Amino acid sequence: MKLNGARIIWESLIREGVEVVFGISGGAVIHLYHALPEYPIRHILMRHEQAAAHAADGYARATGKVGVCLATSGPGATNLVTGIATAYMDSSPLVAITGQVPTYFIGKDAFQEVDITGITLPITKHNYLVTDINELAMTIKEAFYIARTGRPGPVLIDIAKDVQAAELEYEEPSGVSLPGYQPPTLADSSSQIQRAARLINQAESPLILAGHGVILAGAEVELRQLAEKAHIPVVTTLLGISALPETHPLCLGMGGMHGEAYANHALQQADLLIALGCRFDDRLTGAVDSFAPQAKIIHVDIDPTEIGKNVESDLAIVDDVKNFLQSLLPMLQEASHPAWLRQIDEWRRESAGHDILNQETDELIPQYVIRQIWHATGGQAIMVSDVGQNQMWEAQYFLHEKPRGLLSSGGLGTMGFALPAAIGAQMGCPDQMVWATVGDGGLQMTIHELATVVQEKLPLKIAVLNNGYLGMVRQWQQLFFESRYSGTPLLGPDFAKVAEAYGIFGLTVTDKAQVVPAIEQAMETDGPVLIDFHIEQEENVYPMVAPGAAIHEMIRRPQPA
């Protein structure tokens, strides 16, 4: 059948299983939008292109499918950049489609022309500039293949406007042939896996470090089987949270800069560390030369460039985590490690004395808010957190029960991520409860997307942890920069009234006694709800590892006298 380029794009997206696209129209994609009503794809009109990329990212993280965002040329394309970089740092499968000026204007500084392929080269797995309609269908097929295979990530396709208008007899490409792209295959590494099994069977104080790769591989069941068969406790990275239910007795929660104290002690005292799908980033390791000093390290990752990049391993295995665990499990002996688990229990008890929820206070503290959201949802909600203190409090005090239960910007740390990403998650999982936890600073970066929530009739719940500061920077200023709060006091609006102006039910909570009723009211409301929690302004995140310190050298919450 004869189709123009715009229709070939939509036809190709349908054949890739795309159901939702997040975008904003413009002159360089007007042909695409003209053809859109002819196709069964739901378009979500965002209010800013950065939010479109975050929404596609949130959709991808919540569903495991490739997220798709769409923007016009020039500023439309450049506005995607932060969202693309966020997806790249966190290995989120994304295809970003941008319009470009007609081919005969490329390189002539035409109106709204920008070299978006050059700009995004360092933050995409691959990108394309399409100037020939004959290459269009194959380019789209290749882009989706690259985005979802191996270590997932974003791919950008920049399509000239005249290519979208040109016509061609369309035939679906039969497959892809990319000699220059060879994602790691499920290699025969039986000897390495046997060696890994021997190390695990011989270990006296083993520890699993579960990263985002466990979730990306869909290996949650195998991780649990490993932990339970060999009785090995599990520490997660921030993005590895939900790989194992956090109420599981072997789950120690998150480690690292703001990780649980007992998790950090376990990392430092383990004699074997089984690192699954993680990249040993600096927020996890602290001072690298003092990280896990007693442990032999088994590092399993699908991306060979991560092996040895930050932390040297004793046994490196390039493999899909799920495939590795399925091969490993039959080789393992059942074990118990009673002395090791007793030691961890002692660290847990010591940590409880520093937990603010175990200290009596009538103040409206954020930890209490997050824990009450957990109680109300039973740990079954998809939680989408922004960046900063609110991100860490969510990671510490919401106990995630379900896989893909926490979506957050880990590597790039993008403020403003949560609200649009939650929109994407809700679109991908319409029958699930989705909560966004945001600070008053991050929310104001993408607050315009409240209009998208209303336009799409999404039942999203939004918890604003409002302390009147750029909170994490203020905490650093307090602890390391003589409490000189320069550039961090933050004026914000009445968020409940702003929500109501958009057509969202808004609540303001200023007292601890109001927290549970407000959350219950939000849960009982069919549509979207925003709750503005006026929390203690100078509440800090504890524990905290200072820059350059080892992860066991934590700043702890002062205990009451």
User: Which residues belong to the active site?
Assistant: 49, 111-112, 161, 472
Give the whole-angstrom CA distance, residue 335 versus residue 342.
Answer: 15
Amino acid at 128: Y
Which residue carries 């966004």 as its tokens? 436
In Å, how far from its chain's centre is CA 115? 28
CB neighbourhood size of 249 (10 A) = 10
Helices 515-524 + 366-377 axis angle, to 10: 40
Sorted by sequence, the CB contacts under 8 Å of residue 277 that are 6+ apart come out as: 210, 211, 212, 213, 214, 215, 216, 217, 219, 240, 300, 301, 302, 321
Q: Is the peptide bond before 543 cis (omega within 30 degrees of 0)?
A: yes
CB 234 within 8 A of CB 295: no
557 φ/ψ angles, rounded to the nearest 5 degrees: -65, 130
CB 244 within 8 A of CB 224: yes
Task: Tell me the two tokens of residue 545.
Answer: 């590892």
In the numeric block, the tokens 């175990």 are attached to 358
Q: Are 486 and 494 in contact (CB under 8 A)?
A: no
Across the strands, what pairs with 70?
A: 23, 97
Distance in angstroms (rounded) separating the CA atoms of residues 279 and 526: 40
